[in-house]
A = this chain, B = another copy of it.
Amino acid sequence: MADVARRAGVSMATASRALSNHPHVAAETRARVLAAAEQLSYVISPEASRLAGGATGRVAVVVPHISRWFFAALLDGLESVLRDADLDVLLYHVGDTADRRDFFQRLPARRKVDAIVVLGMPVRDDERARLELMGVHIVAAGGQVENYPSVSIDDTAAGRQAVDHLIFLGHRRIGMIAATDPAEPGWPTGPGRTMAYRAALADAGLPDDPELVVTVEWGGRNGAAAMERLLSLREPPTAVYAHSDEVALGAMRTLRRAGLRIPEDMSVVGIDDHPMAELADLTTVAQPVHEQGVLAGRMLRKLLAGEPGADGVTVPTRLVVRGSTAPPRR
């Protein structure tokens, strides 16, 4: 702290106030102190922090979405383990670019948690630097984050299970509805699931027709619109592989409205096993979402206890065949 204060040209008291985000510090002074702290890599190791009595009993959980099932189910699993360990959950929703910048900028000054769990969200290099400034344990779930122990599925393997199922049923003209998330640029879920599609077609010796891949922003309505585009082709596909179940459920609405029968006229497969997939009889590739949150929580407890064994984990996915897929008519 003395070094930070010296470098920023302020008193220790001011440096401390600036780092703890006290209101009576001029914005410019705070910026200077934060910059000095960053230059000096003002890092407290978790061990040192604990020895210094720094344990807060709190864990920050960072999520890009709260009300979407996938993120809420991860949080549910994680929270159950942290609660059992008597750790409190501080929830941080970073929904857009401004939120993210704000959150990661102010993180090192917060120093009010023992650990951070990042749920279903990529972390950029500059953000990672801010996280590391905090000197706390970091774990990711619902997706891999480079350099940190992560719990996730293999998106490429999951995509292969979905598309290989359609190929095995005899489909030769297979569409894909790919999804992006503006809140999560750089998230590898999309590319992995799309690469799986192309790889499966290539392995089966099927042509890769660009007009069969429609990319939309994630969401059921957009899945419905994507299906409309596929139905407007001169030669529509006989089966559709959707990035996730919500997108697939939107596609199914379009098919129903067009008077097409599922699976007789068109097969549909998703990824996730959202609770609604079961109610809609949607064939899907199931991933254990709640369990990924639980595993991340256990991993964090080990890290906080100084135990080894907190490497990343890839949890398996599996095909769940329901009523939305069948061989093509012909």
Contact with B along A241-260 (1 / 0, CB 8 A): 00000100110110011000
Nearest neighbor of A106 in chain B, beta-carbon distance:
B86
Cβ contact of A91, chosen from B79, B224, B246, B275, cutoff 8 A: B79
A76 within 8 A of B: yes
Taking a contact as CB atoms under 8 Å apart, the answer to whether B67 and A72 are in contact is yes
A279, B257: Cα distance in complex, Å:
11
Taking a contact as CB atoms under 8 Å apart, the answer to whether B72 and A220 are in contact is no
**Contacting residues, chain B, for A126 (C-beta < 8 A):** none
Nearest neighbor of A102 in chain B, beta-carbon distance:
B83
A72, B79: Cα distance in complex, Å:
14
Q: Which of A58, A66, A73 has the most CB of B within 10 A?
A: A66
Taking a contact as CB atoms under 8 Å apart, the answer to whether A279 and B249 are in contact is yes
**Contacting residues, chain B, for A279 (C-beta < 8 A):** 220-221, 224, 246, 249-250, 252-253
For chain A, residues 276 to 326, give those with C-beta under 8 angstroms from any C-beta of chain B: 276, 278-281, 290
**Contacting residues, chain B, for A72 (C-beta < 8 A):** 66-69, 72
Contact with B along A33-76 (1 / 0, CB 8 A): 00000000000000000000000001001000111110011011
A224, B246: Cα distance in complex, Å:
20
A89 within 8 A of B: yes
**Contacting residues, chain B, for A290 (C-beta < 8 A):** 67
**Contacting residues, chain B, for A276 (C-beta < 8 A):** 220, 249, 276
Q: In whole Å, how far is A271's beta carbon from the nearest beta carbon of chain B? A: 17
Taking a contact as CB atoms under 8 Å apart, the answer to whether B66 and A275 are in contact is no
A88 within 8 A of B: yes
A2 within 8 A of B: no
A90, B290: Cα distance in complex, Å:
20
A124 within 8 A of B: no
Q: In whole Å, how far is A38's beta carbon from the nearest beta carbon of chain B? A: 22
A253, B290: Cα distance in complex, Å:
25
A76, B257: Cα distance in complex, Å:
32
**Contacting residues, chain B, for A156 (C-beta < 8 A):** none
Taking a contact as CB atoms under 8 Å apart, the answer to whether A91 and B93 are in contact is no
* 10 A-B residue pairs with CB within 8 Å: A67-B69, A67-B72, A83-B99, A88-B90, A90-B90, A221-B278, A221-B279, A249-B280, A253-B281, A256-B281
Known: A67-B290, A83-B92, A89-B92; 16 extra A-B contacts, CB below 8 A, are A65-B76, A67-B69, A67-B75, A68-B72, A75-B91, A79-B93, A80-B93, A83-B99, A88-B112, A89-B91, A220-B276, A220-B279, A224-B279, A249-B276, A250-B279, A257-B281
Partner-B contacts on A (CB < 8 A): 58, 61, 65-69, 72-73, 75-76, 79-80, 83, 88-93, 99, 112, 220-221, 224, 246, 249-250, 252-253, 256-257, 275-276, 278-281, 290
